[in-house]
Amino acid sequence: MALRTSPVQAVSQAAPQAPAGPGLKKVLNRWDTLAIGVGAMIGFGWVVLTGDWITTAGPLGAAAAMAIGGGIMAVVGLTYSELVAAMPRAGGEHNYLLRAMGARWSFIGSWAITGGYITIVAFEAVALPKTALYLFPELNQVFLWEIAGSEVYLTWALVGVVAAVVITTINILGVKLAGVVQTFVVIFLFAIGALHLLGAVTNGEPANFEPLVSNGVAGFFGVLIVVPFMFVGFDVIPQAAEECDLPPRRIGRYVVIAVLIAAAWYVMVILTTASGLSVGQLATSDLATADAMGALFGSQMMANLLIAGGIAGILTSWNSLLMGASRLLYAMAESGMLPQWFARLHPRYGTPVNALLFIGALSVLAPFFGSAMLGWLVDSGSPSIVLAYLLVGVAFIILRRREPDMERPLRVGGRGNFGVAIGGASVLLCAGLLSLYLPGMPAGLGPTPWILFGLWWVLGAFFLFRVPRGITPGPDAEHDLLARIASRRG
């Protein structure tokens, strides 16, 4: 049997060894790893939401919001890159916060990012049948009910259900299979993007870019607030770090590379879509990116081809975020923060099977709430995502100050204060993003997203109060936590 290390065991030599046993398998190569991060960020939102971004802020305003948002995420990614290289263990944020801030803060950060991941998995389960409806207008059969003005049909919902079962099964069968599928689908997605760019360059109308900016500052922030939801996924690389067959330093680099690729993608999609449709056409389009593709090439077939790219984006994001969320639940269960049921690995494939089944079940239910869920999920998941990013920045600063000699295969900004400044910038930028969601702000969230956000944290509070107090942060924090829980149960 291979030596098993717990997901939050420190890399330093001071950390005690974990008991032997079956563990996660190191099978992901560099292309698998990069495809997981990039594919997680380039989901389906670029097909569904691009038209709204352009009408909200104008082509230049929307592109600027995405570029600046991508820069913010790159700064956050720098903190992750150092931490994942130092602690390449399943669970990402869970490990960093436990070592830096203790068990309860670790739970809060882990619960936050898990909630964000699950909202995106549910988003993709609803987005897929919405996309299929574009290709198959007769898909809506057997009316079930109406939710928030959105009619739900059985055949429509079953498209999401079947996809949820298939993607969950692929992940159970092994992370290598999921990684290979991810790589090929990302390649197809980029090929569609290249065609869209070609159409814009050869047939785009410069007049369609007018007005370049709409709604001023409110329009800009209206697009900026979706950035955390659109870019979440680079942090899936840290979640799966224990399964990457790569040097820790390279894993850290891929985090930032993935963010930059996603930022370039979103800016490209905004500008190419704007070149194909006028303001009036954007206002009446359900799927502006696909309609722009059709207009640029004068072919409905090309519009349908872009929808195929959208489906590829759904699958890549869904696959990656399911992988990331399951590893977080696994890591929290391994540390005693969640029931041990979530820590069960498949005896043959070495995947966290129960965590995958739990999230898969939630994605099976999501389509039955209709397409109104899309906006609610985007808005309710984003604050939790930003909260997790903020806490990771704090952990980065604490570990730089308290453990300057901790082994860091990738040290961001060198040993001086510049590295700490990067962590401080990450914290401040995330705090600024978090403030945008508050009531009264230009882009404040509505009541329904806050209700969903609150329900997730009410559930989290039940588990939080079961996590022992007084766990001393440091390399041995996980062992202390497990001993405290065992003593309490005994």
357-367 pLDDT tens trace: 998 898 898 88
* Cβ atoms within 10 Å of 434's Cβ, excluding its own: 17
- Which tokens in the block code for residue 387? 């909260």
**Does residue 48 have a pLDDT over 80?**
no
* Candidate CATH numbers 1.20.1740.10, 3.40.50.200, 3.30.390.10, 3.30.70.260; the one for domain 30-483: 1.20.1740.10
Give the three-state DSSP class for 25: coil
Contact between 276 and 293 under an 8 Å Cβ cutoff? The reply is: yes
Question: Angle formed by the axes of helices 216-224 and 50-86, to 10°?
Answer: 50
148: left (phi over 0), alpha (psi -120 to 50) or beta: left
Q: What is the DSSP-derived secondary structure letter of residue 472?
A: P
Domain boundaries, the chain: 30-483
401-448 pLDDT tens trace: 888 888 887 787 767 678 788 889 999 988 887 887 777 776 667 777
- Which tokens in the block code for residue 81? 């890159």
| Spatial separation of the C-alpha atoms in residues 333 and 353, rounded to whole Å | 13
143-195 pLDDT tens trace: 888 877 778 888 988 988 998 898 888 888 866 666 666 677 788 888 888 99
Q: What is the DSSP-derived secondary structure letter of residue 152?
A: E
Contact between 80 and 385 under an 8 Å Cβ cutoff? The reply is: no
How confident is residue 488, by pLDDT bands cut at 50, 70 and 90?
low
Give the three-state DSSP class for 7: coil
Q: Which secondary structure element, helix H or strand E, spans residue 145, and what is its range? A: strand 143-147
